[in-house]
Structure 1
Amino acid sequence: MTGLLSIAMIVKDEEAVLRACLDSVEEIADEIVIVDTGSADKTVEIAKNYTDKVYSYLWQDDFSAARNFAIDQCCCEWILFLDADERLAAARESLRELITNTTKEAFMLPMKNYTGPVCSAYNVIGVLRLFRNLPHYRYIGKIHEQVGIANHEVVGYSDFPVISHSYSGPCQRQDKRRRNIKILSEQLKCEPENEAFIKYYLGCEWLGLGQYQQAYACFQFAYEQFDNSHVFFRSSTVRSLIACLRFMGNFREALAICMKETAVYPEYTDLFFDGGVVLEQLEEYEIAARWFKEAAQTGTPPMIYQHTHGTENFLSQYHLGHCCQILGKCEEAAQWYEKALTANKNFIYPLYGLFMVLVTKKSCEELINYFTERGYVTGDEGLQALGELLFASGRPDLAVKVCSQPEKNVMPSSQLIKYYLYSGNFEQALAMIEELQTMPGMNDTATMQAEILCSLFLTDLDAAKEKCLNMWQAESLRAEAIALLALTRRLGGHRLVVSEQYQPVLIESLLKIIADCARSYGGNSSVFIKIAKCCEEILSDFEQGSKALLAYWQSEIKGVEMLLDLRYKCVRGLYVWKKAGR
């Protein structure tokens, strides 16, 4: 042995991510061993900038074989295996102390597996990646390979270093899943003795592809085979079974599993969270709240369990707020929403519920101060969410104020254009539209529609007609163009006969304009009223349009009733009584 720690990797076509991975380990490794399995890009060139131990290996559809070849090239006492799309967060001295002052021969380490582009969306799973360089520690399994360790007493658990697995886009993930299913299916033919484990992994791939029946069949088989000597696999199978049943709409069966397995794994926070979600879907909000409270009280589960980050705090707190809000417990709902926002300011969904609770007690101006003073909307995503809420509340002028703060470098966007438009600032909206149109790929449907509406609000019907005809040239935008052209012609005193194939989009487009006009603000109310009435006239010309318009206003009335119910609990029966005609 010539050092303490080897970093080992197998790679193929990883030029986009390899450098960041190697940067994260360069200072802590005594050697870096990289095995390339057939890259056609600059992967090998990048690797050679970090190490001279770069090897070629003929790919054989066997991940374990490739990893074991890499292990054979390692010369240090310990090996830490990474993938190119992973990063290691570790202090050199802390890591070296961990592996020098121990009798353990391997360590389970926490891996953050990101499930979305948002930094707070990840699962935490324990992975055995750090082990002594001993001949009997080798990978097994052609795919979803694991280090084979017979004596689990030699395995330790450490909450550092943390491995972070980068988020990959949907197309890339789906391609990998299909590849994995092919390899696993072949492996199942050759290794019937490992059927439970292979079907568990097959279930994971089918679940990721949204094929819930196939996934359920695999997980059900694994569930019946695993016992508590396979805690990691069995507990993960339980959660996956619950997920399949939820997606298939079998909520009662999912709940039965939650109730049974929380007794088996009382420290597994995520099962209580899953049970709460199932009860929410069954509209059992009072009981659901008790399950979410249990999840929040249980805290972060041991590393042996696959864990969704946030079930121990902000996710459960958000759902608690939602349950309390539906149950009419508005003050308690606000408290839970605020706890969720405090626990994770990058998780903005509680902001919507908190706004709806507080808007019954505070003005929109007061709410802006309330959210900003508490730091709930410091990031761009939070500001955009607050802008949407202010617009929905009929204050586009305040949405402009929030989303165009002078201290920020404000980029033009279709949302901000909409806020300027419906606050009556047509000139600023046009200026921003022109700026957006000069930016490559930014002249999208929403921007084109906003430009036409701006012309209509300024009563420049000729300009609006010309822009509609230009939009009509693009076949994919033809239906939207016809809807706006129908509105333009009606404002000019003419009717446009719209064929049935374009009517669904026309209905959707005109209802959206009506809704946006209803949320306008400022000294141009007569303009917005005129446009909205014109939209209503067009929709009233044909049966489907009339039905859609009626459904829209019924929905708006329900929204008003809900707001009244929240604001005036003490007289909640008043408007119901009048509506009933008694």
Structure 2
Amino acid sequence: MNNTITLAMIVKNEAANLAACLESAKDQVDEVVIVDTGSTDNTLEIAGRYTDKIYTYPWQGDFSAARNYALARSSGQWILSLDADERLFCEPGQLRKTVEKDEQIEAYLLPLDYPVNESTGEYNRFMVLRLFKNTKDHYFAGRIHEQVIIHKNEAVGFAEDIIIKHQTVSQKERNRKRGRNLKALKEACAADPQNFFLQYYLGVEWLGLGKPARAQPYLESAYRNLTDNHLHFRMPALRYLSTCLNALGKFDEAICLGQEAALRYPDYTDIYYLTGIALEEKAEYKLAVKWFEEAVKCGVPPVLYTHMQGAGSFLAYFHMGYCWENMGRPDIAKACYEQALDANNRYYYPVTSLFLLMLAHHGPRSAFAYFEKKGYLSDSPLALCIAELFFTYGYPGLAKKCLTGSEVSRHVTDEILYHLGRYRIYAGDFQEGLISLERIPPDSQFSNMAVTHRSMALLLTGCVKECRNLALAMWKNKQLRPTARALLRICRFMLQNGVTASGRQGSQEEMVQCFLDLLNLCHHYLPDRPGDEVKNLKQVTSILERILSTSSKGIQKLDRFYQDKVNLVEELFKYKFGAGGVGV
């Protein structure tokens, strides 16, 4: 068979990721070769379900050596190289079609999507050389951040429809890998100080660890010394350098860099976006808008340019909206925020801005009508976001309405039940609220939070003994024990007319926070029906304030609590009558 393809991988302790990776690629390749460098979990067992070509290689601190060992055991005419925490996405047979379409091409750069924020769909896209002919001229070089050596640039093609997606990595694991990489990169740079690829990677690692000051000189050196023959390194060096300068507050330098780069790379979306950010930070809003507009005009940049998804669409629109607000044009800002949501309805930040605009200028009910008319309440994640904003700003009844639309109610999840239940309770609909919360199964991630709101509903309806019984049941759950202790003290206070047993109260800091959290829930109560007040609300609130006032820590926290409430009102007042007060 011509153009056979081998998936060649090196792995170590990848039991959590390996199966998903192999599942994504198994139907696209003819052979799977896995080299294990010292796993102590069941990685080898999982690998054995997909291939019998499994080898062990003693780890020597050299990634290229391990990968070249895998190449030597691969019989395919082409090599696909993946890491275990990556997934392959393409149409059936697409890999084979790609390697067969041009005999002059010896290697392909593939897009690698690295998630920035999975919940909002933000990711960075890089072009990486992962598909290449299996010949003696093609091999890996570099002990760390190894690269495939291809001697003829004209023999490298692009395959944009074969996408590799990196899985989200926990912060702890990411930092562990960065620490390991830094050590190896420092050693490699010491041995080869003029290797600007290594300097690029050093800058990336430092930036990833939140150390932009350490990252800047390496990224600057990489950008200034790498040529356009290595655009897939030079462009990310440029983008990360701009990010560094912004992070360090060196906005003038970032703007100068952006102006210089825009002349040389006029179709590079990300540099317009990042320069716009620098101008925005300097309150040069009019100029910032022009740069964001250029980013939108560019859209998706040329394939070799590393790109942050959204820089030419929803991210740029959102920041344009912010700038227009600060220039006193909330009408234009509103349109920009809407464009941002239209481009990506998983990017929720414009929702908060739209909410504040509508609330400040038209009031809560008109704001609700606006979101409903726009269709935002038909999308469950957006509806949840909008509902929480209404609840936070003191409108539990409208929060409840956000989650009772036909589309949302047809796909009821534990999350929706939880939020709907608590909104109903604080809108005065106790019975329906309790029904919603009681539908949440005990093993749900929302179960513990739900039981706290159930207890508050019982307190606010005067069912003190029932609340006490529920608190005793909560006591059995170690995570709920501090809240249970606080509830039991409130119940004793109410049942004994203000006389409380001393007993064990737990740490002062922990208990003060529990009482404060319960007080905050009381302040969310606003019944739908005028005059429909709960007689116990004042009593429960008074008890909580009295308990908090028995310690200096409690008094400090209580004072801060009410100051925050005042600040929230002032913020909305300023929002309405400040820079954005022209009208929408």
Residue 403 (structure 1) aligned with residue 398 (structure 2): no
Code of the residue aligned with 1:286 in structure 2: it is: K
Q: Determine whether 1:58 maps to 2:61.
A: no
Work out the CA distance in 2 between the residues paired with 1:421 and 1:536: 21
| Alignment partner of 1:20 is 2:28 | no
Residues 105 and 123 (structure 1), Cα distance of their counterparts in 2 relative to 1, 3 Å cut: same
Question: Contact 1:422–1:521 (CA<8 Å) still a contact in 2?
Answer: no
> What's the CA shift for 1:307?
0.9
Residue deviations 1:338-384, cap 9 Å, x none? Answer: 21222122223222222333345667566556545644344432221
**Per the alignment, do residues 296 and 571 of structure 1 end up closer, same or farther by CA in structure 2, a change over 3 Å counting?**
closer
Determine the structure 2 residue equivalent to 1:575. none
3-state SS in 2 of match to 1:561: helix
After TM superposition, the structure 1 stretch with the greater mean CA deviation from structure 2, 218-227 or 19-28, is: 218-227
Q: Which runs of 5+ in 2 are unaligned?
A: none
Q: 1:22 to 1:545 in 2, by over 3 A?
A: closer
Q: Choose the corresponding residue for 1:439, options 439, 443, 448.
A: 443
Q: What is the rounded CA distance, in whole Å, between the counterparts of 2:479 and 2:558 in structure 1? A: 26
Residues 96-121 of structure 1: CA deviation (Å, up to 9, x unaligned): 34332322222211111123333722
Q: What's the CA shift for 1:469?
A: 8.1
Structure 2 CA distance for partners of 1:119 and 1:320, relative to 1, 3 Å:
closer
Q: Give the TM-score taking structure 1 as reference length.
A: 0.84
Q: Secondary structure of the residue that 1:87 maps to in structure 2?
A: strand
Matched residue of 1:135: which SS?
A: coil
For 2:159, the equivalent position in structure 1 comes to 158
Which residue among 434, 450, 453 is the counterpart of 1:450?
A: 453
Q: How does 1:22-421 map to 2 (within 5 A)?
A: 22-102=22-102, 103-118=104-119, 120-194=121-195, 196-359=196-359, 370-371=370-371, 374-403=374-403, 405-411=408-414, 414-421=418-425
Q: How far apart, in 1, do the equivalents of 2:253 and 2:498 lie?
A: 59
8 Å CA contact 1:536–1:549 kept in 2: the answer is no
Q: Is the 8 A contact 2:326 2:579 kept in 1?
A: no
Contact preservation (8 Å) 1:199, 1:219: yes
Q: Which secondary structure does the structure 1 equivalent of 2:411 belong to?
A: coil
Q: In structure 2, what is the Cα distance between the partners aligned to 1:223 and 1:242?
A: 11
Q: What is the CA-CA distance between 1:546 and the residue it aligns to?
A: 6.8
Alignment match, 1:561: 573
The amino acid across from 1:241 in the alignment is L
**Structure 1 residue 316: Cα displacement:** 1.0
Which of 370-379 and 50-59 deviates more?
A: 370-379
Query: What SS does structure 2 have at the residue aligned with 1:400?
Result: helix
Which stretch of structure 1 is more off in the superposition, 105-114 or 34-43? 34-43
Counterpart amino acid of residue 565 in structure 1: F
Distance of aligned partners of 1:559 and 1:126 in 2 relative to their CA distance in 1, 3 Å threshold: same
Cα distance in 1 for residues equivalent to 2:108 and 2:330:
47
TM-score (norm 2): 0.84
Asked if the contact 2:414/2:446 (under 8 Å) is kept, the reply is no
* DSSP 3-state at the match of 2:524: helix
Indicate conservation of the 8 Å contact 1:539/1:549, yes or no.
no
Deviation (angstroms), 1:190: 3.3
The question of whether the paired residues in 2 share the 8 Å contact of 1:106 and 1:155 is answered with yes
State the alpha-carbon separation in 2 of the partners of residues 524 and 551 from structure 1.
28
Tell me if structure 1 keeps the 8 A contact 2:269–2:301. yes
Structure 2: distance between partners of 1:193 and 1:558: 56
Q: Which amino acid aligns with 1:509?
A: D
- Closer/same/farther in 2, CA of residues 372 and 18 from structure 1, 3 Å limit: farther
2:432 aligned residue: 428
SS state at 1:245 partner: helix
RMSD of the TM alignment (CA)?
Answer: 3.7
CA change 1:545–1:193 in 2 (3 A) is closer
Contact in 1 for aligned 2:327/2:579 (Cα 8 Å): no
Listed one character per residue, the Cα deviations across residues 305-349 of structure 1 (whole Å, up to 9, x for unaligned) are 221111111111122222223333222122112212221222232
Contact 1:125/1:307 (8 A) holds in 2: yes
Does 1:552 find its partner at 2:564? yes
CA–CA separation in structure 2 for the residues paired with 1:74 and 1:555: 65
Give CA deviations for 1:43-69 in whole Å, capped at 9, x if unaligned.
334334333433332222211111112
Aligned in 2, Cα 1:60/1:567: closer, same or farther, shift over 3 Å? closer
Contact 1:78 1:130 in 2 (8 A): yes
Q: How far does the alpha carbon of each residue in 1:7-49 deviate from its partner, in whole angstroms, 9 at most, with x for none?
A: 2222233333323322332333233333232333443343343
Code of the aligned partner of 1:149: I
Does the alignment pair 1:512 with 2:516?
no
Name structure 1 gaps, 5 residues minimum: 573-582
Query: CA shift at 1:144, angstroms?
Result: 0.9
Answer whether contact 1:480 1:505 (CA < 8 A) is retained.
Answer: no
Q: How far apart are residue 410 of structure 1 and its match?
A: 3.6
The structure-2 alpha-carbon separation of the partners of 1:500 and 1:126, relative to structure 1 and needing over 3 Å to count, comes to same
Listed one character per residue, the Cα deviations across residues 269-303 of structure 1 (whole Å, up to 9, x for unaligned) are 11221122233333333332222111111111122
- CA drift of 1:388 comes to 0.7
Tell me which amino acid in the other structure corresponds to 2:190. K
For the residue of structure 1 that corresponds to 2:173, the secondary structure is: helix
Residue 379 to residue 166, structure 1, CA distance change in 2 (3 Å): farther
Quick one: structure 1 residues 370 and 145, their matched pair in 2 at CA, closer, same or farther if it must change by over 3 Å?
Answer: same
Which range is displaced more, 150-159 or 63-72? 150-159
Which amino acid in 2 is paired with 1:512? N
Bigger shift: residues 298-307 or 147-156: 147-156
Give secondary structure in 1 for the equivalent of 2:112: strand
Counterpart of 1:234 in structure 2: which amino acid? R
Compared CA separation, residues 441 and 333, structure 1 to 2 (3 A):
closer
- 3-state SS of paired residue (1:109): strand
Taking the aligned partners of 1:131 and 1:33, their CA distance within structure 2 comes to 15
Q: Following TM superposition, by how much is the alpha carbon of 1:474 offset from its aligned partner in structure 2, in angstroms?
A: 8.6
2:533 is equivalent to residue 525 of structure 1: yes
Asked whether the equivalents of residues 461 and 534 of structure 2 are also in contact (C-alpha less than 8 Å), the reply is no
C-alpha separation in 2, matches of 1:71 and 1:568: 61
The 1-side partners of 2:546 and 2:41 are apart by 60
Amino acid at match of 2:296: A
Say which structure, 1 or 2, has more relative contact order (CA 8 Å, 6+ apart).
2
Distance 1:261 1:16, change over 3 A: same
Alignment-mate amino acid for residue 428 of structure 1: E
Provide the rounded CA distance (Å) in 1 between the counterparts of 2:189 and 2:46: 37
Question: SS in structure 2 opposite 1:115?
Answer: strand
- Aligned residue pairs total 569
Shift of 1:213: 3.2
